[in-house]
Amino acid sequence: MNRSIKRLQWRLVACLVAVLVAVTGLTAGTAWGADGGLPGTGDKSSIPARHSGSNHCVTPEGVDANKLLGISEQLFQPDACNVLKTGEHYVPLGGPGFWYMNTFWEAVPADYTPSAPTPLEDFISKVRSVTYVVDPDTKQERSYRYTAQAIMDVRTIRDFFPETGPEWPTALFLAKLPPLPPGHHRLGTSIEMRARHCDGLGTDPVVNCLGAGLTKITVCPFTVVPHDARATRP
């Protein structure tokens, strides 16, 4: 696996493909799958639902991400789980909100000194907040800022891709965002760090590191349809 394949869309203005799919080297013919279900809990807090319901976002290797994470709300994953239903809260997953890293300090930029024994500990000690902007640069723009610790869940890529995924720790940010009206939407994401962090996977200061302060990550498109509508991927 080429470890230089990293979170390029953290720096792009548009979220084109899911990072998890690119990272694990899956073929272009594979994709996440989703089928709709009942509305979520209606809880407007930032904490994910405790019980899995009827929404299912499934990886190409057959893992139901809703069941894995214990989330009943719709999961928004840019590559396939990107058609949401009206009246339901949704939780960004994949390109909109995660950061993965090595299990040890294998490679870092020459000017970086880790602050903890492992990249995961380093990241957790420095991450401060995550901000989601719905429909940025439009009249409908809405921003939602969450303390990172309130919405963070640490897994591994292998949890989602048991056949091909590495055991890299992955910090997921599982914010529960309010329902949206029908139509095409975009979701922008930014992450705030107390200090610079690098992932231990490489030496590129842009691809492998997050700087102190606020970093704009992605803007990912998705579609919302009426709850009883049948729709295909945009």
Tell me: pLDDT of 85 over 50.
yes
The per-residue pLDDT for 19 is 35
- The mean pLDDT value for 107-119 works out to 97
Return the closest-CA partner of residue 85 out of 53, 121, 50: 53
- Decide if 125 contacts 116 (C-beta within 8 A): yes
Q: What is the DSSP letter of 67?
A: H
Euclidean distance between CA atoms 201 and 16, whole angstroms: 23
Return the closest-CA partner of residue 207 out of 18, 27, 32, 19: 19
- Better-predicted residue by pLDDT, 50 or 123: 123
Euclidean distance between CA atoms 29 and 24, whole angstroms: 14
pLDDT tens digits, 149-205: 888 999 999 999 999 999 999 999 998 899 999 999 999 999 999 999 999 999 999
- Decide if 180 contacts 89 (C-beta within 8 A): no
Tell me: pLDDT of 48 over 70.
no
- Decide if 50 contacts 44 (C-beta within 8 A): no
Residue 37 vs residues 18, 60, 88, 144: alpha-carbon distances, Å:
23, 20, 10, 25
Q: Per-domain residue ranges for the chain?
A: 8-225
- Decide if 164 contacts 24 (C-beta within 8 A): yes
Q: What is the DSSP letter of 177?
A: B
Question: pLDDT above 90 covers what percent of the chain?
Answer: 53
Collapsed DSSP state (helix, strand, coil) of residue 105: coil
The per-residue pLDDT for 155 is 94
Give pTM, 2 decimals.
Answer: 0.78
Tell me: pLDDT of 45 over 50.
no
* Residue appearing with tokens 């990912």: 220
Residue 53 vs residues 41, 79, 158: alpha-carbon distances, Å:
9, 22, 23
